[in-house]
Structures are given as structure tokens and as C-alpha cells.
Amino acid sequence: MTYIAKPKFHHPGLKKNELGYTHRDYEGKISTLCAGCGHDSITASIIEACYELSIEPHRVAKISGIGCSSKTPDYFLGNSHGFNSVHGRMPSVLTGANLANRDLIYLGVSGDGDSASIGFGQFAHSIRRGVNMTYIVENNGVYGLTKGQFSATADRGSKSKKGVTNTDNAIDLVAIALQLGATFVARSFSGDKTQLVPLIAAAIRHKGASFIDVISPCIAFNNHAGSTKSFDYVREHNDAVNRLDVLVGRDPIAVDYAPGTVQVVEQHDGSKIALRKIDADYDPHDRLGAQTFLARHAAKGQIVTGLLYVDPEAEDLHEHLNTVETPLNTLEADTLCPGSAALDKLNASLR
């Protein structure tokens, strides 16, 4: 663990975003994770995405469960709201917070243990309800905090650091998210920020349940030969279907792409995602196709990354429930408690 605080000095020529912040202004405390942890790169990517989107830090709520991944919200967005909840219960806390105040940007940060084991049910229900959030799983396939047991996302046949072969089948969170109706589904790799940063930015801009599975090598317990979540393995088997640029505001789409290679997706808030196709046949609007594509490539041992599915017209939980738009904490007492006459009227309507 690094004992010194990260120096306050920054490069004098750092660019500032629309709010006048540099990316350093989106940092949190210094990481206490192991040196080289993939999670720290995801932290850096979240910082970069929020900086690029010129997000006001106080408009963000970052919520996590328990585990190495769930410690990371301490390391980014030091001026945002945070809730480090119970193991596996991030989705419920996030859902509750979102229902109470829909004006904030909800960032759920979880790990493979937190979401695929103890919190598997919670994960499933928050996705199927369509909570407007960005749900990031920092997936290293191993229980790092307890020294390297296989997690539920470890591939069958992969080897632990001690040489034991995993005999259990793996849960593919991306496949589950697709099946449960997530409206923005992506997978990426902590060692590939050029792909990851725009994915996070696009997910934050997406209205509805966004899910990103980020493979994040555990340097201490899952970065050896035989692991399928090591830097070397992921780099060798990474099959990116697309790369993207997020365009906010009225910027015209850059025209320097070869025709037919770029697909522009406009989200409900007007932001645009320019998808540079790598796999020409891949259609990110086809949920069924995506599921098949994923299964086919998984069988071949390939790790499909990129924006796998997006529904730009998605609805979220608030629309389903027809809730009040005003955050509950700003509702006045007479709105919250309209009096006995209103209660009588309600009761009468139910008789």
C-alpha cells in the first residue's frame, strides 16, 4: 500500500472540461489495492469518462457492495455521494436511492463475487426492473480478498494460482444481463482504456439499466498461465466487435470514417455513439443475435468485447411505476401528507 497521499501538483498544461475541471478533480483517495490491480485502471477509466462528460461530481451517487471492486468508489469522484453497502446488496440500495431521487447519476460498482455469488439475485432483479443506472462489474474471476478461490465467473477448466482446475461452470454476467432485458450491455477489459472509457461514458448517458462487465486481472491471484482472466490471456483472446466514440452536444459526426464502417446510435438525451464496427456483421440492436454471437464465441474460447446491445429508446423503472418526478427530499410536507380528506377520497375509491 502506498503511504503517501498522491501529490496535489498536476501537469501545468492539463486540459479542462466545460466545468473548468481537470481529470485530476475527479479523483478520490489513493488506492489501497495491490499494485497493478486491474480495478485501478477501471477507476482511472471512470474518472476519465466523468471528466470527458463534464459531469458535476455532486450529481453522482456511487454505490457498491463488498470486495476489492467495491472498495474502488473511494478512489474516484471524491466529491460525489457514496454508499458502501452490504455484501451483494448494492443493487437494492441503488434501486432505493434511485426511486427516492431520480435526478442523480447512479453508478453501481460491484465485483464477480458481489454480483455473481452472494448478490446474484439482487443483480438480476435490478436489471430486469430497468433501474436507470450504470452497473459496472469489475470481474477478475477470483476471490482476491480471501486469497484466490475461484469465483462464480471463473471459466470451467481454468487453473488457480495453486494449479487446481475449476470444475464448475462459469456464470456469464453479460449473457444473463441480455436475457434479463438490460438495455445497454457491454464487455471490456481493464487493460484497454481506449475501448472502456467511451463505453462507460455511453453507459452513463444511457437511460435504463446499463451493464458493463469489465474483465480486470487480479495481479496477486489470477494473472498466471492457465488463468483465463490474465493480462496475457485476455489480450490474446479479445474479440472486439466494435469500438466507439461518444459525442455529446451538437457536435456533428466526424466524417473521416470509411462508409459503412460506422453506425451512429442516438440516445434519448441527444448524445450520440459512433460505433466503429470491427465485425461487420455484428448488429448491436439485435438482442437475440447478440446472445447467439456471445455463446458461439464463448464456445471457441473467445472473449467478446465492445458494445454488445443497446436499445436507445429504453424506458426505466420510474416510467414503469409512474412515480413522481421530484426527488422525495424536496417534496413539501403538504404534498407528502395531503391530509385526511385526500386519504378519505383514496379509501373511498378502493371501496
205 φ, ψ (degrees, to nearest 5): -75, -15
Q: Per CB under 8 A, which region of 38-46, 137-145, 200-208, 321-329 contacts other proteins?
A: 38-46
How is 240-255 classified by DSSP, letter by letter? E-EEEEEE-TTPPPP-
Instruction: Collect all residues with Cβ–Cβ distance below 8 Å to 10 and sequence separation of at least 6.
Output: 22, 24
- Gap between the Cα atoms of 24 and 22, Å rounded: 5
The mark string for 184-213 relative to other proteins (x by CB under 8 A, - otherwise) is ------xx-x--------------------
Taking the complex as a whole, the smallest distance from the CB of residue 295 to other proteins amounts, in Å, to: 28
**Would you count residue 68 as binding other proteins (CB under 8 A)?**
no
Interacting residue with other proteins among 67, 73, 217, 306 (CB under 8 A): 217
Instruction: Collect all residues with Cβ–Cβ distance below 8 Å to 317 and sequence separation of at least 6.
Output: 95, 98, 99, 129, 130, 131, 132
Taking the complex as a whole, the smallest distance from the CB of residue 110 to other proteins amounts, in Å, to: 20
How many residues line the site for other proteins (CB under 8 A)? Answer: 35
Q: Per CB under 8 A, which region of 24-32, 94-102, 132-140, 312-320 contacts other proteins?
A: 24-32
Interacting residue with other proteins among 19, 35, 295, 321 (CB under 8 A): 35
Judge whether 247 and 273 are in contact, CB under 8 Å. yes
Q: Per CB under 8 A, which region of 5-13, 59-67, 157-165, 316-324 contacts other proteins?
A: 5-13
Interacting residue with other proteins among 26, 28, 38, 234 (CB under 8 A): 38
- Closest Cα to residue 215, out of 244, 250, 189, 184? 189
Interstrand relation of 133-139 and 209-215 (parallel, antiparallel or unpaired): parallel
How is 34-62 classified by DSSP, letter by letter? PTT-HHHHHHHHHHHHHHHTT--GGGEEE
Of the pair 111, 217, the CB lying nearest other proteins is at: 217
- Gap between the Cα atoms of 63 and 82, Å rounded: 6
**Would you count residue 225 as binding other proteins (CB under 8 A)?**
no
Of the pair 85, 139, the CB lying nearest other proteins is at: 139
DSSP 3-state helix, strand, coil percentages of the chain (rounded to 5)? 35, 20, 45
Query: For residues 234-253, which are near other proteins according to CB under 8 A?
Result: 235
107 φ, ψ (degrees, to nearest 5): -120, 105
Interacting residue with other proteins among 21, 25, 41, 80 (CB under 8 A): 41
- Gap between the Cα atoms of 114 and 133, Å rounded: 17
Interacting residue with other proteins among 129, 175, 226, 231 (CB under 8 A): 231
Of the pair 9, 299, the CB lying nearest other proteins is at: 9
**Would you count residue 161 as binding other proteins (CB under 8 A)?**
no
Taking the complex as a whole, the smallest distance from the CB of residue 192 to other proteins amounts, in Å, to: 9
Of the pair 48, 172, the CB lying nearest other proteins is at: 48
**Would you count residue 346 as binding other proteins (CB under 8 A)?**
no
Please report which residue ranges of the chain form alpha helices under DSSP H: 38-52, 68-71, 90-100, 112-116, 120-129, 173-179, 193-205, 231-237, 287-299, 317-321, 333-336, 340-350
Taking the complex as a whole, the smallest distance from the CB of residue 38 to other proteins amounts, in Å, to: 7
The site for other proteins (CB under 8 A) is made up of: 1-14, 24, 30-31, 34-38, 40-41, 43-44, 190-191, 193, 217, 219, 223, 231-232, 235
